[in-house]
């Protein structure tokens, strides 16, 4: 099963939504690395100070 993150998930991660981080951690633990697309990253990236967003490991 593949997981694809949309802009909503990345924005919630940036806002430090604990449920998003808990789900993300579980996915990583079971080996289901999420993916996203470059346009989604471009849409939610606004500055280099978005530390939480940079912590979300995904594959492009």
Asked, for residue 36, whether it belongs to a domain, the answer is yes
Asked, for residue 29, whether it belongs to a domain, the answer is yes
Q: What pLDDT score was predicted for residue 42?
A: 84
Name the DSSP letter for residue 30: T
Give the chain's domain count: 1
Q: What pLDDT score was predicted for residue 60?
A: 53
Q: Which domain holds residue 50?
A: 7-54
Instruction: Give the side-chain half-sphere CA count within 13 A for 50.
Output: 17
Q: What pLDDT score was predicted for residue 27?
A: 92
Asked, for residue 60, whether it belongs to a domain, the answer is no
Using alpha carbons, list the distances in angstroms from residue 2 to 11, 16, 28, 33.
Answer: 20, 23, 12, 8
Asked, for residue 28, whether it belongs to a domain, the answer is yes
pLDDT digits (tens, 9 = 90+) for 1-50: 789 999 999 999 989 999 999 999 999 999 988 999 889 888 888 777 77
Both tokens assigned to 9? 């998930």
Q: Is residue 46 a contact partner of residue 22, using CB atoms and an 8 Å limit?
A: no
Asked, for residue 59, whether it belongs to a domain, the answer is no
- pTM for this prediction: 0.76
Q: What pLDDT score was predicted for residue 58?
A: 65
């Amino acid at each position: 099963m593949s997981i694809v993150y949309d802009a909503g998930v990345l924005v919630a991660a940036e806002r430090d939504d604990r449920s998003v981080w808990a789900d993300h951690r579980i996915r990583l633990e079971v080996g289901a690395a999420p993916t996203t697309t470059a346009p989604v990253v471009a849409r939610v990236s606004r500055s280099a100070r978005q530390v939480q967003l940079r912590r979300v490991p995904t594959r492009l």
